[in-house]
Structure 1
Amino acid sequence: MRHGLEIRGKNGDLRGEVLRVIGLLVSVTLLGTVGYHLLEGWSWFDCLYMTIITITTTGYREVGKLTVAGKVLSMFLMIFGVATFLYSVDAILPILLEKRIERWKKVLEKMEDHCIICGYGRMGKEMAKELIKELKNVVVIDLDTTRVVSAREDGIIAIQGDCTEEDVLERAGIRRAKCIVACTNSDSVNAFAVMVAKDLNPKVFAIAVLRTPGGEKKLKRAGADMLLSPYHDSARKVCVAVTRPTAADFIEIIGKMGTLMLEKMELKNDKFHDIPLKDTEIRKLTGCIVVTIERNGEIIFPDPDTKVYKGDLLYVLGREDGLKKAHQLITGQ
């Protein structure tokens, strides 16, 4: 009840401020228009035109030659009218901005399974651009006002604040988020952001970008599910491209296709325990392929007669809709 009254009170204040601003503008415009008409004898339209260009400091030439009284009126409009116009702009812009922020808050309150990106630098910007194609819902957190504005201009919901603060992560909807990507320029900030995020939502998938080699242990202790090292990962990619170009081409094709993904799933379905892979009919029912099996630390490249056992980790390649069906079959959920 109190919250409803507060909202109505705030809306009433905004409405009153807008009405005051409109009233001031209309009053000054009418005063100038009527004044020029009485003092100079111009047409009503010319008087309105003269008033507008004077108030807005546009600087076009006068409609006609001004008398002394007309010049006095012009000076009055230049001082009082311009001040009123600037006050109006200054009063209305914060109102529009507040309305926009309120709209973002409402969107955030309903948002689920979204990705939170901490840091909107070069890497954060590229990640957001790619993630928004798949997840649609992406929220950016950054301390830098310029970066926050840049993210909003790119059509992304952005929050200005410290990503290591609980209240900032709460505003970003961390408890309902699917994943969080910590890609600020500091390993310490990334580690702390992951730690706080995991404390608020233990199920969130946390990815951290490693900025220095010494930060790896710190980020793992913080609870990061995946570490990305731009330099190390690029070096490995170059190595694969040089030594195994076909494999590099295959990875590149998968990345470009976008809809083709590889996922790891643990076999929990009792019906599939101790039977050949072909009898599970995973490929027939889902269109997905089991490319690798991980069992007791050993990697197995299966053929149709390879038996699978409960607890095996299956690496499944397929499209999103097929992977959902495969996940239900393999986990029995």
Structure 2
Amino acid sequence: MSSQIRQNIQLIVAFFLVLFGGTAGYLYLEKGWSVLDALYMTVITITTIGYGEIHDLSPAGRIFTIILIFVGLGLAAVFVAQVTKVIIQSGIRNLYEKKKMYDKINKLKKHTIVCGYGKIGRAISLKLYELGLDFVVLDHNQERLAEAEQRGYKVLHGDGAVDGVLLSAGIRRADFIVLCINDDACNINISLAARELNSDIFIVVRGTDPSIEYRMLRAGANTVVYPLDLGGEQIGHILARHAGVAENEEAGPTAHEVMGYSLRIFPHYDNTPTTVGEVKVRTGAVNALVLHREDGTDIENPADDMELSYGDSVLELVKNDGAGCELKSDIKWSKDLILGIPFIDAEHRVLVRYAEDFQTALREGQDHEAVARLFDRLLEYTSSHFAREEAFMQKRGFPEIEKHMKEHRRITREVMELNRDKKYIFPDSIDSFLQDWIINHINTTDRKYVKFFKDEDK
């Protein structure tokens, strides 16, 4: 139990003790009073309302009333101080977080505004993040925005049809705005407002009813997209390709492959240090081009004896001859991962199963679309799991919640970076990361709050 909850309980107990003590005191000191009379006199005394004495008080009763007034004033002062403390702390924290977010948004130029963080908005935001493009997520739903912020996106709460909200999102500095709200009328209103505030902005609107597309175009939209139609077309292409009637999208080498060679990234997600030379041997690389340190510094043509720490990565030139890293270990659910909190254990089981599916896809050499889809599913579930876990810790008053949330942000940031570069990452690196992300996180970081709750419940 946290100190905050303990203080609140103590305050409530103290209030009822004073109420009981005052009632009992009047019943003892004043003859002929009923319980209701004594309780009423106690309430108006400790709240200092001052309606007057309901019956004439004896000298002992007057002295008792004086004592009760001072006790009531002290209790009221403590209560007011406690409530004020909570309000001020919460308000300052929220203002500070909002100011930091506004400062980040105010620095953006030529960015994209994504209105609506539903399924379509999530997919668009993820792709923009993978491409390294600046964007702001705008939504009126605080829970959805919390999930977006968890992933490291810049977010803004509000209605996109309100000029002030669009201006706060940097509409006049933005190059694009994507309206993916599942309501054509709302999209039309936002399109009108966006075009009025920035005549040069490129507006993409998610449509649901083709019969009113002309209205969206008249409202200022540059193009209208129908996700259901795109989904049906994509399914058709997949069926055609598997039936052997679709042409290959690329007849030659991929964009990142030249003359049988390509660039690959080896991020080091192992607590055991290694060297550039050891990485080259493990990956079968021809050469190490750049060593990227976690602090952001780059070392070109690093020597083989240079050491990598956790979070460092190496950009390598590899020959596409089928060689490369293999997965060293499997992510498997075991009783050692059970924490004893049913809903947390259930979500961890799902997390491990999604990791298993992803590893299976890598091991079987499934196509890039399938692997990317499984990794996105793993990322999606992890973000929502972290949010629910943090809400649980906050509700139970875990004192180290800020430190735990910081660890969640680190993992989410690293996942997003892997997701952005997933075409170039070695399976061995992802394997090491999954071990740290899931297994080590559960067995070390998560067990800290489990131990705290068990100690509190004793």
Q: TM-score, normalised by structure 1?
A: 0.49
**RCO higher in 1 or 2 (8 Å CA, sep ≥ 6)?**
2
- Structure that is richer in strand per residue: 1
